[in-house]
Amino acid sequence: MAGVSTDPADLAVRRATRTALNPDVVLDAALTLFAQRGYHGTALSEIAEVLGVRTPSLYNHMGSKHDLLRTIVDRTTAGVLADFHRVLDPADTPTRQLREATRVYVHRHATHRREALVVNRDTGSLSEPAFGEMQARRREHEHALRAVIAAGVAAGEFRVESPALASFAIREMSVSVARWFSPEGALSAEAVAEQYSAFALRIVGAS
Amino acid sequence: MAGVSTDPADLAVRRATRTALNPDVVLDAALTLFAQRGYHGTALSEIAEVLGVRTPSLYNHMGSKHDLLRTIVDRTTAGVLADFHRVLDPADTPTRQLREATRVYVHRHATHRREALVVNRDTGSLSEPAFGEMQARRREHEHALRAVIAAGVAAGEFRVESPALASFAIREMSVSVARWFSPEGALSAEAVAEQYSAFALRIVGAS
DNA sequence: CGGTCAAACTAACGAGCGTTCATCAGCCCG
DNA sequence: CGGGCTGATGAACGCTCGTTAGTTTGACCG
């Protein structure tokens, strides 16, 4: 935009293509670009451009660039935990618990790919206390999954030498679905989630 | 360094702590910082600082910041392929091939964690033709692993519905070892590699 | 010792960034 | 219609960044 046209017809075109801004659309645009280019690889001016406004206008709808990241990470990690707790029925067998926990985890990574990509790549750019809070939620999920596997081993349902290793393997293969999954692909998110939870049960040697 | 001291004693201390620069030490410092902070999150001045020189001095030993990234990615992806081809014996059974392929892949990610972290995070910042070359190598590895799994299914050694999905799961859980592995941890790189290759065989339902 | 060269430095360039500020425009309400 | 408010703009701030260019320094060799 080296020379901004003041021709009334041009101004009308720009208004017509302009999105009505609000915090949600700003966050959504940020999410898309952060996922594509990374947090540091995305300039606020790029977010402004896709929204059809100038960079300073974003500040009417957001606090700071860091706030965008923090919000994305907080919501995503809280969502992961909420999924887990929603499907975890203490009365269930470890086998069923692991299957369900894996299924919702994979499903989230297939259906919220942008969030997953950002959370997996850019949490190192969070300032405290956001960084510490993110780590605590991540650790909570990790320990809970590991506990399911350990309970399965203790109950004789699973045969695996290291519940910790199995937990890492299962979590990480699930997270990485976000990297390759495409809604236009041959498999639905549900199908992938089912297959991956079957893989999880195989990893732990579920009988 | 707002005020650089010209006191001879201070100058002597700075020289004493200064690393003799060469392209390898620059690349090594870059690798460490890129792995920790990301490519865009690392300023050349930070690399210069850990090496005890001023930023422009780096240019005696490197072409550009992008060159550093390109070199890291090229070497790493070439190494992954070399590992694979080294252990892949066409006369082996698919089971043995998958075990070995997974083992060296995991081992590399446990023993070259910095490289893995950079390659998994920052290849999006590569310009062409480096980006295309990196993708070609990545695809080559992926297709080769998938072919091993498909051959195992065809030979009746593996029972898995989708060799492609299994390949993704195995590759991604292996790659992610770089995120959590610690040489000071309870398990050695070899032990983790063995466990993970056992997981891989379970995922494909190897008999 | 003097000359040469490599690599260190300082200074600077041009570009870009996130953010603030003052102003303007548009909309709504009394 | 006028006033107030919200949200847009352009201008600017202060800073950082990757890189270039000129100068200085130190080591080596004849």
pLDDT band, very low/low/confident/very high, at A207 (cuts 50, 70, 90): confident
Q: Does A144 touch chain B (CB under 8 A)?
A: no
Q: Which of A121, A192, A205 sits opposite B121 (nearest CB)?
A: A121
Contact A180 B166 (CB under 8 A): no
Rounded to the nearest integer, the mean pLDDT of chain B is: 90
Contact A199 B166 (CB under 8 A): yes
64-83 of chain A touching strand C, CB 7 A cut-off:
64-66
Query: How many Å from the CA of B145 to C1' of C24?
Result: 62
Q: Where are the alpha helices (DSSP H) in B88-129?
A: 94-111, 113-122
**Count of alpha carbons within 13 Å of B12, Cβ hemisphere only?**
3
**Count of alpha carbons within 13 Å of A87, Cβ hemisphere only?**
22
Q: Does B180 touch chain A (CB under 8 A)?
A: yes
Contact criterion met (CB below 8 Å) for B34 and B40? no
**Contact list, A177 vs chain B (CB under 8 Å):** 168, 172
CA pair distance A39, A73, nearest whole angstrom: 12
Contact B203 A205 (CB under 8 A): no
Cβ of A56 near strand C (distance < 7 A): yes
| pLDDT at B15 (0 to 100) | 41
pLDDT band, very low/low/confident/very high, at A20 (cuts 50, 70, 90): confident
What's the average model confidence in pLDDT over A141-157? 96
For residue range B65-117, what is the model confidence (pLDDT) as tens digits? 999 999 999 999 999 999 999 999 999 999 999 999 999 999 999 999 999 99
Q: How far are the Cα atoms of A86, A92, A145 from residue A99, in angstroms, in the given order?
A: 13, 11, 11
- Residue B9: pLDDT above 50? no
**Contact list, B125 vs chain A (CB under 8 Å):** 38, 41
What's the average model confidence in pLDDT over A78-101? 97
Nearest to A73 by CA among A110, A128, A20, A19: A128
Complex ipTM tops 0.95:
no
Cβ of A22 near strand C (distance < 7 A): no
Q: Does A173 touch chain B (CB under 8 A)?
A: yes
- Residue A1: pLDDT above 50? no
What's the average model confidence in pLDDT over A119-145? 95
The answer to whether the peptide bond before residue A8 is cis (omega within 30 degrees of 0) is no
Q: Tell me which H or E stretch contains A177.
A: helix A177-180
Cβ of A60 near strand C (distance < 7 A): no
Rounded to the nearest integer, the mean pLDDT of chain A is: 90
| pLDDT at A19 (0 to 100) | 58
What's the average model confidence in pLDDT over B147-169? 96
Nucleotide whose C1' lies closest to the alpha carbon of residue B46? D17
| pLDDT at B19 (0 to 100) | 58
For residue range A26-49, what is the model confidence (pLDDT) as tens digits? 999 999 999 999 999 999 999 999
Contact criterion met (CB below 8 Å) for A69 and A125? yes
Nucleotide whose C1' lies closest to the alpha carbon of residue A66? C18
For residue range B13-22, what is the model confidence (pLDDT) as tens digits? 344 445 578 9
pLDDT band, very low/low/confident/very high, at A21 (cuts 50, 70, 90): confident
Contact criterion met (CB below 8 Å) for A205 and B202? yes
Contact A173 B169 (CB under 8 A): yes
Angle between helix axes B94-111 and B65-87 (nearest 10 degrees) is: 150
- Residue B163: pLDDT above 70? yes
A114 CB-near residues (< 8 Å, 6+ apart): A31, A32, A34, A35
Nearest to A151 by CA among A100, A90, A83: A90
CA pair distance B83, B44, nearest whole angstrom: 32
| pLDDT at A48 (0 to 100) | 94
Per cent of chain B over pLDDT 90 is 89
A34 CB-near residues (< 8 Å, 6+ apart): A42, A68, A69, A72, A114, A117, A118, A122
CA pair distance A87, A66, nearest whole angstrom: 32
Nearest to A124 by CA among B36, B176, B44: B36
Q: Domains for chain A: give ranges and CATH numbers.
A: 9-60 (1.10.10.60), 65-203 (1.10.357.10)
| pLDDT at B20 (0 to 100) | 77
Nearest to B159 by CA among A20, A5, A199: A199
